[in-house]
Amino acid sequence: MATLKLFNTLGRRKEELKPLRDNEVGLYTCGPTVYDYAHIGNLRTYIFEDILRRVLEYNNYKVKHVMNITDVGHLTGDNLGDADIGEDRMEISAQRTGKSAWDLAKLYTEAFFKDTERLNILKPHIVCKATDHIPEQIALVRKLEAKGYTYKTSDGIYFDVSKFPTYGELVGQSLKEKKAGARVEVNPEKRNPADFALWKFSPKGAKRRQMEWESPWGVGFPGWHIECSAMSTKYLGQPFDIHCGGVDHIYTHHPNEIAQSEAAEGVKMANFWLHGEFMTVEGRRMGKSEGNAYLLEELIERGFKPLAFRYLCLNTHYRIQLNFTWQALEGAQTALERLREHVRNARANGGEPAQGKVLPEARERFLVALNDDLNLPQALGAVWDFVRSQRNPSDKLATLLDLDRVLGLRLSEVRREAELEISPEVQELLAQREAARTAKNFKEADALRMKIAELGYEVLDTPQGPKAAKRSDATPKP
RNA sequence: GGCGGCGUAGCCAAGUGGCAAGGCAAGGGUCUGCAAAACCCUCAUACACCGGUUCGACUCCGGUCGCCGCCUCCA
């Protein structure tokens, strides 16, 4: 088995992956907080995680992929410094839209999976919702309580980080250093600024929460971090192999998960921690307030295919900020279309993937790039060099479809799609034009071509005869 | 203010102490009735700027500028 090296945030260096069980890898990826639609920056992270999973599988590991859905407890300020002043994101969205928090969770969860499906992101083997695991979270808090890691304030049960000496290991920053950089403490009941809520009490009075549960400490709801600890342990055991998320989680969410899990179980939580970088847009930070936190839906409205966005993401290493520009997305879309055209041509030239063989030299170069910390830009370079080389169509197809197991660009579906898109009406016009053309009546032929173009198709005369292709020239407006 | 990352052709970008991957765009050609696709060729004396180390740096060191991130919710 080839050596796969990954950059481990824990230690800040590339390390060889050595799974705990021979051929199996336990993978936990932090999922969405379903209080709103996911924007393309969010989606980039899920594409990175999808690539990781596919690379693991390409290396013949059996992957068990678990992802959470945060549908409760993620407060607007549930972190360092102001754990008691935030509001639950779900409840805020509910107030804003007039829908129930539960309905919204369902709505945005479905929207999320619709997006990931369009991006050909493989669905995790286990998708677990925080609200479906309240007993597990309560049990974990009780365990921490029994071991003396917690204390109670007027608004909740907190984790005392001073009892956990290695807190901040992931960050490479000691508690003391973190404290020195912290701002004004806004929750005077907390013993240490880095302490965080494990369980929050429902506010007393008229303003009832929509999401709340009974617990040994009274009615309330779980803290944001506890779900990941409870569910990762439940489904993957502890320790497990790889834990992923966005870079924003390096400093608070993940250290807190580590503290909870390791304090409770007395063993390491996960061996590898991988983090995907953020996106910028036209060189500026991306955010809702900037008006550039685009949704996948908006890209589609501008005439782009979801997989063009996926291709764009593959073209930049996951640990480097990706600068999103419309021009770059157009480039990605063209490149993807061309790649698909190569598959189409290989098919047209009689290529049958089942009769071809995966060419070892192409696969090797591709794999070397992948196994060096998921260097997809370099892997794509290898793909293009291969695509431009002269091969017999069957071998070419077999190889490209093999590489696409990682790329996830749906290259195997190219043929079917091309056939489906041509309506009988267009087929008929195409036949008429070919007849005119054969009769050297080019004026007539060109007129028919215009007619076909009006129906949204482009006429292409290929060595195998004329064909129509759906025009993808919906010009994007920057 | 503290800590960290980045700055490579019009755009997205990979990379290495020893003559700068790949894709998009652009220009030329083959093919075509004309096109499209495909294929071929061209396209950074140059890797933000200024110093230093070195036989040699884009790659190492120091400084400057710019952008981004974290320290405060965010993938």
Share of chain A above pLDDT 70, in %: 89
- Same domain? For A245 and A102 the reply is yes
- Same domain? For A150 and A289 the reply is no
Query: String of b and e for A357-382 (b: at least 16 CB within 10 Å)?
Result: eebeebbebbbebbbbbbbbebbbeb
Of chain A residues 388-447, which have a beta carbon within 7 Å of strand B?
Answer: 388, 437, 442, 445-446
Domain with residue A161: its CATH number is 3.40.50.620
Distance A228 CA to B4 C1' (A): 26
Q: How many residues does chain A have?
A: 478
pLDDT tens sequence across A429-460? 888 888 888 888 888 888 888 888 777 777 87
Q: Is residue A20 part of a domain?
A: no
> Which nucleotide is nearest, taking the CA of residue A390 and each C1'?
B39
Distance A372 CA to B69 C1' (A): 24
pLDDT of residue A1: 59
User: Domain span at residue A325?
Assistant: 281-419
- Same domain? For A172 and A230 the reply is yes
- Same domain? For A446 and A321 the reply is no
Q: By the 8 A CB rule, do A193 and A186 touch?
A: no
Place of tokens 């790039």: A369
Phi, then psi, of A26 in degrees rounded to 5: -90, 125
Q: Which nucleotides of B are covered by protein (CB under 7 A)?
A: 1-3, 5-6, 10-15, 21-25, 32-40, 67-75
pLDDT interval class at A390 (50, 70, 90): confident
Sequence-ordered strand ranges (E) for A209-257: 220-222, 240-246
Of chain A residues 45-64, which have a beta carbon within 7 Å of strand B?
Answer: 45
The SS3 assignment for A126 reads strand
Of chain A residues 294-353, which have a beta carbon within 7 Å of strand B?
Answer: 312, 315-317, 320-323, 325, 327-328, 330-332, 334-335, 338, 341-342, 345
Q: Is residue A381 part of a domain?
A: yes
**Is residue A86's beta carbon less than 7 angstroms from any atom in nucleic acid strand B?**
yes
- Please give the distance of CA A251 from its chain centroid, rounded to a whole number: 20
Residue A149, exposed/middle/buried by CB under 10 A (0-12, 13-18, 19+)? buried
Poorest-confidence range of A9-23, A181-195, A212-226, A452-466? A181-195
Q: Is residue A168 part of a domain?
A: yes
- Same domain? For A428 and A287 the reply is no
Distance A476 CA to B30 C1' (A): 32
pLDDT of residue A375: 95
> Which nucleotide is nearest, taking the CA of residue A283 and each C1'?
B67
Q: Is residue A17 part of a domain?
A: no
Arithmetic mean of pLDDT, A15-22? 93
pLDDT of residue A78: 43
Poorest-confidence range of A62-71, A236-245, A408-417? A408-417
From residue A204, how far is each of A81, A155, A201 by CA, in Å?
Answer: 22, 10, 8
- Please give the distance of CA A56 from its chain centroid, rounded to a whole number: 15
The SS3 assignment for A67 reads strand
The SS3 assignment for A456 reads coil
Of chain A residues 94-153, which have a beta carbon within 7 Å of strand B?
Answer: none
Number of structural domains in chain A = 3
> Which nucleotide is nearest, taking the CA of residue A334 and each C1'?
B24
- Same domain? For A122 and A102 the reply is yes
Distance A12 CA to B53 C1' (A): 27
Q: By the 8 A CB rule, do A32 and A112 touch?
A: yes
> Which nucleotide is nearest, taking the CA of residue A288 and each C1'?
B74
- Same domain? For A170 and A264 the reply is yes
**Is residue A81's beta carbon less than 7 angstroms from any atom in nucleic acid strand B?**
yes
pLDDT interval class at A207 (50, 70, 90): low
- Same domain? For A360 and A456 the reply is no
Poorest-confidence range of A144-148, A213-217, A348-352? A348-352
What whole-number distance in Å separates Cα of residue A233 and Cα of residue A226? 11
Q: Is residue A4 part of a domain?
A: no
Average pLDDT, chain A: 86
Distance A13 CA to B17 C1' (A): 22
Structure tokens at A14: 């590339």
Higher pLDDT, A87 or A421: A87
**Is residue A472's beta carbon less than 7 angstroms from any atom in nucleic acid strand B?**
no
- Same domain? For A208 and A229 the reply is yes
- Same domain? For A316 and A401 the reply is yes
Q: What is the dihedral of CA A220, A224, A226, A231, to 10 degrees?
A: 110
What whole-number distance in Å separates Cα of residue A67 and Cα of residue A85? 28
Residue A71 has pLDDT above 50, yes or no: yes
Q: Which run of H or of E encompasses A21?
A: none
- Same domain? For A307 and A229 the reply is no
Ordered DSSP codes for A371-383: HBT--HHHHHHHH
Strand-pair partners of A201: A220
> Which nucleotide is nearest, taking the CA of residue A369 and each C1'?
B14
Sign of CA dihedral A335, A405, A380, A362: negative
Domain with residue A359: its CATH number is 1.10.730.10
Of chain A residues 363-382, which have a beta carbon within 7 Å of strand B?
Answer: 375, 377-378, 380-381
Distance A323 CA to B15 C1' (A): 19
H helices present in A239-359, as ranges = 253-265, 296-301, 306-314, 326-348
Q: Determine the residue type at A244.
A: C
Of chain A residues 176-195, which have a beta carbon within 7 Å of strand B?
Answer: 178, 181-183, 193
> Which nucleotide is nearest, taking the CA of residue A49 and each C1'?
B75
pLDDT tens sequence across A322-352? 999 999 999 999 999 999 988 988 888 888 8
Distance A464 CA to B41 C1' (A): 27
